[in-house]
């Protein structure tokens, strides 16, 4: 017990020596978290559409006995390097996640009450390790469609949490005070649920589609036309909820920031729906698949931003050290 306590004290002292992150630095690392968490999903789609999912046949090594791509009779060099590069991008995600956690830990030294901020920041590196484990299972099961689906859905959740982290740096830790009416709040919860269903249905379409990451990967045995219709229907449901939120704003006005983000979400959702329809009509060309994955990340970001704009958690607390300095002066 004493040894554990001593180590915690030493760690706290070490963190306290770090410079206090400026507001721009806080926003910078949070924005980087959003970009890297969304970006790794897009690069993962490139791996999938180029059939490079098993370019590296083992995990964490690329091939048995080698961490790097090597000349191999069964795997093309290009496919190896595409998969290997995607794995290496995880390093950037880890670096940014670590910066988020360090920033939150340093802030909490001066602001002990920022527990929520610390939890959101800690979710970034925790998510990276979770994704690494899921990625290992995906490779070891030779890209079974449901493991790829779990990989993608976890990325979407981490993007949502990264958006919440960005806002947590700029707000207090008071209980949320909602800035929209009860009806709008209920609809916003329904919107988030609709988004989760929409993303899940999209993974089913992908699981039954032609781009499995490797030509020999078993696919979901379900009619892709039926799954695509389900996916499209859920998008319509998502847009209907958006319409209802707009109607609720006519009765109970919301802050300008919420209205602006509501308009942005409409633009992103319609663009994503149009891209999905074009993709299906053209026979799911590879390039459009990656753009569609990027679009899904933008929809998640816009919806999470709308959620955060619907409530207020008070101003950012003044660091304790600065309060003491002001009192002494």
Question: What does DSSP assign to residue 63?
Answer: B
| Residue 245 confidence (pLDDT) | 97
Q: What is the residue-averaged pLDDT of the chain?
A: 86
Mean pLDDT value of segment 160-183: 94
| Beta carbons within 8 Å of 194's beta carbon, 6+ residues apart | 234, 237, 238, 241
- To which H or E segment does residue 311 belong? strand 311-312
Mean pLDDT value of segment 179-189: 95
Mean pLDDT value of segment 127-137: 88
| pLDDT score of 328 more than 50 | no
Mean pLDDT value of segment 169-195: 94
Note every long-range contact of 87-92, with CB atoms under 8 Å and residues 24 or more positions apart, other chains counting: 87/56, 87/62, 87/135, 89/36, 89/39, 89/40, 89/43, 90/40, 90/128, 90/131, 90/132, 92/36
| pLDDT score of 162 more than 80 | yes
- How is 122-187 classified by DSSP, letter by letter? HHHHHHHHHHHHHHHHHHHTTS-HHHHHHHHHHHHHHHHHHHHHHHHHTS--SPPEESS-HHHHHH
CA 329 remoteness from chain centre:
44
| pLDDT score of 38 more than 90 | yes
| Triad 18, 24, 27: Cα angle to 5° | 95
> How would you label 51-72 residue by residue, b for 16+ Cβ within 10 Å and e otherwise?
bbbbbbbeeeebbeeeeebeeb
CA 60 to CA 132: how far, in whole Å? 9
Three-state secondary structure call for residue 65? coil
| Residue 212 confidence (pLDDT) | 55
Of 179, 328, 196, whose CA–CA distance to 253 is shortest? Answer: 179
| Residue 53 confidence (pLDDT) | 63
């Amino acid at each position: 017990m004493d040894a554990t306590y001593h180590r915690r004290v030493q760690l706290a002292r070490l963190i306290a020596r770090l410079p206090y992150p400026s507001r721009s630095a806080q926003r910078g690392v949070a924005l980087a978290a959003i970009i890297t968490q969304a970006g790794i999903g897009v690069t993962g789609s490139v791996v999938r559409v180029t059939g490079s999912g098993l370019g590296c046949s083992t995990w964490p090594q690329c091939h048995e006995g080698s961490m790097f791509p090597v000349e191999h009779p069964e795997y093309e060099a290009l496919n190896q390097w595409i998969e290997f590069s995607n794995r290496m991008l995880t390093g950037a995600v880890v670096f940014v996640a670590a910066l988020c956690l360090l920033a939150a830990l340093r802030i909490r030294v001066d602001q002990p009450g920022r527990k929520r901020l610390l939890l959101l920041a800690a979710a970034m590196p925790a998510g990276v390790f979770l994704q690494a484990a899921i990625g290992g299972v995906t490779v070891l099961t030779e890209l079974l469609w449901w493991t790829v689906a779990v990989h993608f859905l976890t990325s979407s959740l981490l993007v949502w949490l990264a958006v919440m982290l960005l806002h947590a740096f700029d707000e207090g830790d008071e209980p949320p005070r909602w800035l929209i009416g009860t009806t709008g709040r209920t609809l916003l919860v329904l919107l988030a649920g609709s988004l989760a269903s929409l993303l899940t249905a999209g993974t089913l379409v992908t699981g039954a589609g032609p781009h499995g990451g490797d030509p020999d990967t078993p696919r979901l045995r379900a009619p892709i036309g039926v799954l695509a219709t389900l996916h499209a229907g859920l998008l319509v449901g998502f847009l209907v909820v958006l319409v209802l939120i707009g109607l609720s704003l006519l009765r109970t006005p919301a802050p300008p920031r919420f209205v602006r983000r509501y308009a942005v979400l409409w633009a992103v959702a319609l663009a994503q729906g149009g891209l999905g329809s074009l993709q299906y009509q053209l026979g799911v060309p590879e390039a459009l698949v990656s753009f569609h994955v990027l679009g899904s990340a933008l929809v998640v970001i816009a919806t999470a931003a709308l959620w955060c704009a619907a409530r207020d958690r008070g101003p950012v607390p003044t660091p304790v050290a600065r309060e003491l300095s002001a009192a002494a002066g």
